[in-house]
Copies of this chain bind each other. A is one copy, B any other.
Amino acid sequence: MTRIAVALFQDAEELDVVGPWEVLAAWSTQWPEDGVEVFTVADSSEAVTCAKGLRVLSDHTWEAAPPIDVLVYPGGRGTRRELADPVVLERLRKLREQDVLMTSVCTGALVFAAAGLLHERPATTWWGSLETLAELDPSIDLRPDDRFVDSGEVVTAAGVSAGIDMALHLVARLGSVERAREVRRYIQYDPAPPV
């Protein structure tokens, strides 16, 4: 069983959460034989209001969450509070020490950097926060042109919509390229930006 947790917090960016959620939960529910479980986790069981106002309820609290193999950490303006919260940073360090695969979307990378998880690693984030990422940890090897950066134990994605591409990469890495292609087909991910 592979247990994937998607973190929720006040002012997390909606698509940062739901892009990976859709990809990973589609994998989990459409191919149950792969033994993947996906759930959301937050500080409390009350509704979390996301950055653009959408209100979401989490499946578990951090306290009562089942064991986690993979963590997806979204961005959004709530990360500015998260990266200054010692409880959050200690939680992330502990998960990393337990060999949880740590993945971020958008400015979720800022919180990872504040926790020291990106030290001397290649990483990326939302284009508007690349400088902040470098300030948080100058040892980071910035990759502004990458859609996502897989540095082994830690994976970071670029802004907002990049979480979809990163999540498909996770399906390929943890499952297979063939399965990732099937998930991509399921969500009809043949993007064609009209502008």
Judged by a CB distance under 8 angstroms, whether A54 is at the interface is yes
Judged by a CB distance under 8 angstroms, whether A119 is at the interface is no
Judged by a CB distance under 8 angstroms, whether A5 is at the interface is no
Q: A164-B161, A168-B194, A169-B194 are in contact. Are A22 and B15 (CB under 8 A)?
A: yes
Which stretch from A55-63, A65-73, A90-98 is at the chain B interface?
A55-63
Q: A18-B54, A194-B180 are in contact. Are A188 and B159 (CB under 8 A)?
A: yes
Q: A147-B194, A172-B195, A194-B169 are in contact. Are A187 and B55 (CB under 8 A)?
A: no
Size bracket of the A interface = 35 or more
A53 to B28, CA, bound (A): 11
Can you report 10 residue pairs joining A to B where beta carbons are below 8 Å apart?
Answer: A15-B19, A15-B187, A22-B52, A54-B56, A56-B56, A56-B57, A160-B186, A162-B188, A165-B193, A191-B193
